[in-house]
Amino acid sequence: MSWTAQECADAWGVKLATWHGYVSRGQAPAPLPDGRTWDPDAVRTFPRPGVGRSRAGATPQAQALLAEMAEVAAGIEELRARQRELLVAGKREGLEVVAMARALGISRQTAAGWLRDA
């Protein structure tokens, strides 16, 4: 079985035009002899150029690490939401922004911005 250019682009998480650009610059595997399809294994294992490398070819260990990172990020967002709630409650109690910022481990500017947006 072989992949079309669109399937290759999808696997790398890029637009079709980007995939064709990579191929033309030798930054992706060469097509099969038919000139229109690619070996899926070659696409998966080829070291993708650019900063936004796809996770498509990542090892199971790397995938697990990425999943753990996403879980930590979600936890941080929950904590940020709680910080905002506490900040608003502190404002209602008449606490000073500087004292609340120190207690929450954030900058005065961040605290002031959050209060403006609340």
Rounded alpha-carbon distances, angstroms, from residue 52 to 3, 4, 13, 56, 103: 22, 21, 9, 12, 37
Whether the predicted pLDDT of 9 surpasses 60: yes
* pLDDT digit string, tens, across residues 49-90: 765 555 555 677 877 887 898 889 889 999 999 999 999 999
Average pLDDT score over residue span 21-44: 94
Q: Is the dihedral of CA 38, 44, 49, 52 positive or negative?
A: positive
